[in-house]
Amino acid sequence: MAKTQLNVRVDETTAEAARQRALQRGMSVNRYIEELVKQDAGEVGRTFVEAASDFMKQYESVFAEEFGEFGAGDGAGKDKDTGTGRAGKR
């Protein structure tokens, strides 16, 4: 993968902290910052999935009321009153 050079300006305290942390991990400052960005991007994805899960749990009863209760092996897609498939309902 091609690399792109960034020129980032930070205060001396932040720069020294980055140097020290990279040294402790046995890597270059460039690699350390690259790892931090990758970690942050991964956390954003996890945060989204967790938020979506929380949303679904919070509104589970609303969805169940509106669309019926769905789950593996419980007749998903069937009308809750007649037990017939929705596609066959007229």
pLDDT at 71: 57
**Nearest alpha carbon to residue 16 among 24, 76, 58:** 24
Of 80 and 27, which is predicted with more confidence?
27
pLDDT at 28: 96
pLDDT at 60: 87
pTM to 2 decimal places: 0.49
Three-class SS state of 85: strand
Q: Distance between CA 63 and CA 73 in Å, rounded? A: 18
Query: Chain centroid to CA 82: how far?
Result: 38
pLDDT in tens, 46-73: 888 888 888 888 888 888 888 876 654 4
Handedness of CA 25, 29, 35, 36 (dihedral sign): positive
pLDDT at 78: 52
Q: How far apart are the first and last CA of the chain?
A: 56
Q: What is the mean pLDDT of the chain?
A: 80
How many residues does this entry show for the chain? 90
